[in-house]
Structure 1
Amino acid sequence: MERLVSVADAATMLGTTTRFPRRLISERRIRFVRVGRHVRIPVSALEEFVADGTVEPISIRWEGGKVVT
């Protein structure tokens, strides 16, 4: 079974307030599990969310006054 974390723990892992993961849940932008009336988030869902939002840097150089990627 995968590790599930509370909304407060998810917020700590993301470095945000609890409002942010709650909004992700209400907008269905992240996977979550209902355990009775409690809401838990799989750690892998947080990792996927961060990976999907990660922007890799690009390397650019100038050539003849223009940017070449």
Structure 2
Amino acid sequence: RRWLDRHGDPYTRIGADIDGRTGIEFGISGVPETFVVDGRGRILAQHIGVLTEEALEDRIRPLLKEAAE
């Protein structure tokens, strides 16, 4: 609970692709995959595989900051 209070719930911004159609349209090639999408719906990044702390800090967080601007 303390971790969630400090960092927030990482699952609040997750969508479900029930019929798999969105995955096909995005060109998903593996699971798990992480996408950074800006406010206009543009895909800024795609990370295939487990999201490591290094990938999160080096690539994803800077893009999230950029997308929020």
Q: TM-score, normalised by structure 2?
A: 0.31
Judging by fraction of residues, say which structure has more strand.
Answer: 1
Higher Rg: 1
| TM-score under structure 1 length normalisation | 0.31
With a CA cutoff of 8 Å and minimum separation of 6, indicate the structure with the bigger relative contact order.
1
